[in-house]
C-alpha cells in the first residue's frame, strides 16, 4: 500500500498575505501553482495511481485534475480532508474592520491559538483534527495492499495526518497536537508517502526527490 499525501499548488489566495482562503477559496490555483503541480505530476508520472482523492476545496480539486491527466481518471472528493473552516473570516483579510468587529473580544485575546475553541461560526483545531483522523482511518481501511493512492489536501490536515501516523491514537494533549501542527510546514505541491509493512504504517518524506 502506498498513500501519497499531497499539498495543493500555490493558490491565488496564498499570494494575498493575511487573506483567509480556508474552505471557500473562490479563485483556485495561481499560474505559478499550476506550474508547480505540472512539475509534481511529471515527478510522479510512473506511480500510476489507482485513484485520486481530493479535498473539495477549489485549489485542491484543481491540483487533482492536473495530477490525473497522465495518471488516473478516477477522482473523488472527500470532505474529511478539507481545510480548516475559518468561519466568518473565510474569504476576507483577517484585519478587515467589518470582520474584526464581529469577532468576540475574548476570542481575539485568549482563544485564537487554543485547541478547542472554534473560529467564530467555524471549526476549532480539534474539530479539524478529529475530522481528518476519522477520514484517514476510513481511507486506510479500504486501500488495497498493492494499491497506490493520491490524497490531495492542505497544510493543517497534512500535519494532522503525519501526527496521527507517528503518534497513533496516543495523543498526549491538545497543546501537543497544536504545537506539532504549528511547527510543520509543507511547501505547495509537496508530498509525503505513507506505506504499510507488517501491519505498521510509516512515513517517507519525498519532497527532496522533486
pLDDT in tens, the chain (210 residues): 999 999 999 999 999 888 888 888 888 999 999 999 999 999 998 898 999 999 999 999 999 999 998 777 789 999 999 999 999 888 888 778 777 788 887 777 666 668 888 988 999 999 999 999 999 999 999 999 999 999 999 999 999 999 999 887 666 678 888 888 888 899 999 999 999 988 899 999 887 655
Task: Please report, for residues 6, 29, 44, the alpha-carbon distance to residue 194 in angstroms, rounded to integers and kept in the order given.
Answer: 11, 25, 15
The Cα 134–Cα 165 span in angstroms is: 12
Q: Report the candidate in 208, 154, 209 with the shortest Cα–Cα distance to residue 184.
A: 154
The pTM of this model reads 0.93
Amino acid at each position: 500500500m502506498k498513500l501519497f499525501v499531497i499539498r495543493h499548488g500555490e493558490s491565488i489566495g496564498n499570494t494575498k498575505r493575511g487573506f483567509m482562503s480556508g474552505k471557500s477559496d473562490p479563485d483556485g490555483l495561481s499560474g505559478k501553482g499550476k506550474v508547480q503541480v505540472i512539475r509534481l505530476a511529471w515527478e510522479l508520472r510512473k506511480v500510476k495511481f489507482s485513484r485520486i482523492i481530493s479535498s473539495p476545496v477549489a485549489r485542491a480539486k484543481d491540483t487533482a485534475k492536473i495530477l490525473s491527466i497522465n495518471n488516473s481518471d478516477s477522482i473523488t472528493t472527500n470532505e474529511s480532508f478539507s481545510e480548516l473552516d475559518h468561519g466568518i473570516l473565510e474569504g476576507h483579510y483577517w484585519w478587515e474592520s467589518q470582520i474584526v468587529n464581529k469577532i468576540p473580544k475574548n476570542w481575539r485575546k485568549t482563544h485564537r491559538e487554543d485547541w478547542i475553541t472554534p473560529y467564530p461560526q467555524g471549526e476549532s483545531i480539534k474539530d479539524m483534527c478529529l475530522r481528518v483522523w476519522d477520514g484517514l482511518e476510513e481511507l486506510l481501511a479500504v486501500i488495497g495492499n498493492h494499491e497506490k493512492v493520491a490524497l490531495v489536501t492542505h497544510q493543517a490536515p497534512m500535519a494532522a495526518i503525519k501526527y496521527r501516523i507517528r503518534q497513533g491514537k496516543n495523543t498526549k494533549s491538545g497543546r501537543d497536537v497544536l504545537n506539532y501542527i504549528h511547527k510543520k510546514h509543507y511547501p505547495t505541491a509537496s508530498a509525503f508517502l505513507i506505506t504499510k509493512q507488517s501491519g505498521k504504517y510509516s512515513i517517507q518524506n519525498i519532497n527532496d526527490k522533486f
